[in-house]
Amino acid sequence: MQHNASHTTSSTLAVINVLESVCVPIICAVGILGNALNLVVLSRTKMRQSVGNKQEKMVMCAGLIALAVADLLVCACILPRSVVPAHQIMFEQWSFSLAYQAYGTALIGTFSMVSTLLLVLMAGMRYLAICHPLRSRGLSIDRVFYVALVAVFPVSLLINLPMYWIHEVTEGF
């Protein structure tokens, strides 16, 4: 039995096209809506004042808000992939498509790293609070968390900086 390679290739391309043009935008739109809802809920003052230690709640909310922002930005950066031409190399003028093609992957990588580092930071904080509660309270870990929270964004940018230099935008003749 022979396998038709051109049929497999065309059907594979059709599946990839459906995923990129239909599924990815739907997933990104749901992600944007969900993270926007997270931001609304987490930023409400009633939610932060409900139960428990106020300082611990503020730290937790700050981490979750930063994570929702990072995930929202990842979804917002991936969404244009369904409409921006993938391999266009010549543009008549500066446009969103040109900027996205040059820097979109770098932005996605940066915000994905921010999200990952925030998850690691929050997991570390939970570990300290649960497994070493006396030690974590004595170290004023909240201040350390806020410094680390602010440092996550520039560290992610620095680590991903080479990705911003992969493509060079030049003026043609």
Distance CA 100, CA 6 (A): 32
110-152 pLDDT per residue, tens = 999 999 999 999 998 888 878 887 776 666 677 888 889 999 9
Distance CA 40, CA 33 (A): 11
**pLDDT the model gives residue 1:** 46
Identity of residue 102? A
**pLDDT the model gives residue 53:** 59
Distance CA 33, CA 43 (A): 15
Count other C-beta atoms under 10 Å from residue 17's C-beta.
Answer: 10
DSSP state for residue 171 in the 8-state scheme: -
- Average confidence score pLDDT of the chain: 82
Distance CA 97, CA 82 (A): 11
pTM of the predicted model, to two decimals? 0.79
72-86 pLDDT per residue, tens = 999 999 999 887 766
**pLDDT the model gives residue 55:** 64
**pLDDT the model gives residue 135:** 74
